[in-house]
Structure formats: C-alpha cells, structure tokens
Amino acid sequence: MDDCIFCKIIKGELPSYKIYEDKFTYAFLDISNDGNGHILVVPKHHCENILDAREEDLENVIKTIQKISKHLTQNCGFDGVNILNASGKSAEQSVFHLHFHILPRKDKDGLKVFPSLTKNPKSLKDIQKSLKVD
C-alpha cells in the first residue's frame, strides 16, 4: 500500500531500527521509545488488522513474536513480555497495518500496560450467550 508507513519501512523507504526480519515478517523498535525496547512485529504483506489478515500472515507473525520473545527472555535478561494488539479504530488502532507490540518486561519494572476496566453489570451467562461462536 503506497501510503502505509509500515509498508514504507518494510521497503526501506523510511528508516527503522530493525530487530529481526525474515521472508514474511519485519520487527523494529517503536519510535515512541517507551518501555525498555518496545518492538513492533508486522507482516510484510499488507493487511489492515487481524480482522482481514490472511491465516498464513497470522501464523508467520506469531512465530516471529515467539522467536523474539524467547530471545528477549533467554538472551537479553528480561523475565517476560507483554504482547499487545489493537484491531480497528474503536480498539484504538493508530496505524492501519497489522502489528503486534512486544514489551519486554523485568520483575518489578513498575510498568502498567493493561487497562483498568470497569465491571460489566451483565452476568457471565448472558455475556456468553451473546458472544458464543457456533
């Protein structure tokens, strides 16, 4: 896609701090420079988000996420990782090329990355009924 910033990064038209690349995926540091090595993993094939992604793109992206996450915990001194994704404007997706965030974590690093949600007044049974996949 011509106007996609991540496609431009993948093609080398825009600079990035590459962490990993293979035939199907590209991983680079997020320019926000927050956390201790905030990494974005994207498929090289353009898709907007998880809702329109090809199955093979999802498979390749998750394999790359695991590879990088293992490297971070086995070789870089991290204790764990957060894997985050936003799919769709209402989910606060800001760049419309599928991407996952890897946030390397250390015990007691003080980062709070999960949102604080309010309790739903509906029962779990009612919610299940409305959301169940047949």
The pLDDT tens digits of the residues spanning 64-122 come to: 999 999 999 999 999 999 999 999 999 999 999 999 999 999 999 999 888 888 999 99
Q: Mean pLDDT, to the nearest integer, of 4-25? A: 98
* Cβ count within 10 A of residue 25: 23
> Exposed (0-12), middle (13-18) or buried (19+): which is 61, by Cβ within 10 Å?
buried
Res 9: pLDDT? 98
CB of 32 closer than 8 Å to CB of 100? no
Active site residue 71: no
Query: Which is the catalytic residue, given 38, 71, 97, 99?
Result: 99
Query: Which residues does 23 contact at the CB level (< 8 Å), separation at least 6?
Result: 44
- Whole-model pTM? 0.93
Q: For the residues of 74-99, what is the DSSP string, one character each?
A: HHS--SEEEEE---SGGGT--SSS--
Reading across the β-sheet that carries 39-43, which strands appear in turn? 18-21, 25-29, 39-43, 100-105, 80-84
pLDDT at 2 over 90: no
